Amino acid sequence: MGSRIRLIHLIFLMMILSILGGCSETKLAIHSAKKVIRKIEGKPKGRYKVGNPYQIAGTWYYPKVDYEYERTGIASWYGTKFHGRKTANGEIYNMNELTAAHRTLPMPCYVRVTNLENGRSLVLRVNDRGPFAKGRIIDISRRGAQLLKFKRQGTAKVRVKILADKSRALAFGIKNKNELARVGSPITVKKLPKAKVSSESLPSPPGSKVSPIRETSHLKKHAKLAISRADNTELKRSNEPLTGKIIKTTVVSSNIYVQVGAFGEYANANRVQARLASLGSVKISNVVIDGRDLYRVRFGPIERIADADSLLEVVTEAGYQSARIVVD
């Protein structure tokens, strides 16, 4: 009887120890999770960066400030594998934020990405380099891909356009504050830089009477105030949190092409076409850009992105490293 009671006590004691051990493990797991969350939320300040030319897998890329950037092509998205890692400008990548990676645009800047397959359009903040898979023009965060409705298929035909004014204001604020303004913390400065204008008085024509134009202090005060307010407004807008607001645009039928290049001389385009004729139907089309005639050498239209990827690989292996996928 006594031995049975001792056995019951022993079993009871083991159960209590097991429960306490489980609690300890739970606390440890919660503590570890909090550490991970703090690691992601405690973002180090990034910096404004354009960067030097760099080479990835034998291909050279040339970052530059381009406030006229607008291009069509194929977008992809990236998520868990890079979540919590540093981006190319020193921020921390969060797949649940509205960000993107681009190979050459300044970081950070703002772009509008439009899914040409469903018309959904969204503003994203570029803070990383990539994608380096051939045939892709932008890599979007998981959240961005969800909102643009292409997360499941992995890729989409898109148009990418830089938001020039918003990006300029952001760059100015960062460079003048010498730190990256955290989203939600507007930078306040009195005014954007303005070009200096010099003036001099010219003699009046003979026989004419000219009254000097005087700017009253009242007009000066209000003019300066209006400029200051406008500049501050633009700077504040550049640092407002991205809302994820989707704009619906009209869906227009579009086709995929592999563009080998655009040439200023028809003879050069014709020479390239002849060299690549054995790979498939390659055509020359004329386009006028900024008043200049260009002759584009293209394969297509191509129905599937996977087929375009395969053809692009063959074309680049033939020596045309600047070939890319475009959508028209």
Q: Residue 96: give the domain boundaries.
A: 40-192+225-251
pLDDT tens-digit profile of 222-258?
444 444 454 555 556 656 778 889 999 999 999 999 9
| Helix intervals (H) in the chain | 2-41, 142-147, 164-177, 217-238, 266-276, 305-317
User: What integer pLDDT is reported at residue 241 of this predicted model?
Assistant: 74
With cut-offs at 50, 70 and 90, classify the pLDDT of residue 37.
Answer: very low
The Cα 312–Cα 99 span in angstroms is 27
Q: Supply the mean pLDDT for the chain.
A: 80
- Looking at the fold, whether 163 and 288 belong to one and the same domain comes out as no
User: What integer pLDDT is reported at residue 188 of this predicted model?
Assistant: 46
Domain at 322, CATH number: 3.30.70.1070
- Looking at the fold, whether 106 and 145 belong to one and the same domain comes out as yes
- Looking at the fold, whether 114 and 241 belong to one and the same domain comes out as yes
Asked whether residue 300 is domain-assigned, the answer is: yes
Structural domain count of the chain: 2
Domain at 137, CATH number: 2.40.40.10
CB 51 within 8 A of CB 151: no
- Looking at the fold, whether 76 and 134 belong to one and the same domain comes out as yes
Asked whether residue 199 is domain-assigned, the answer is: no
Asked whether residue 229 is domain-assigned, the answer is: yes
- Compute the average pLDDT of residues 167-191: 65
- Looking at the fold, whether 141 and 155 belong to one and the same domain comes out as yes
Residue predicted with more confidence, 33 or 142: 142
User: What integer pLDDT is reported at residue 190 of this predicted model?
Assistant: 45
CB 275 within 8 A of CB 263: no
Q: Pairing mode, if any, of strands 99-101 and 120-128? A: parallel
User: What integer pLDDT is reported at residue 325 of this predicted model?
Assistant: 97
- Looking at the fold, whether 53 and 157 belong to one and the same domain comes out as yes
User: What integer pLDDT is reported at residue 233 of this predicted model?
Assistant: 59
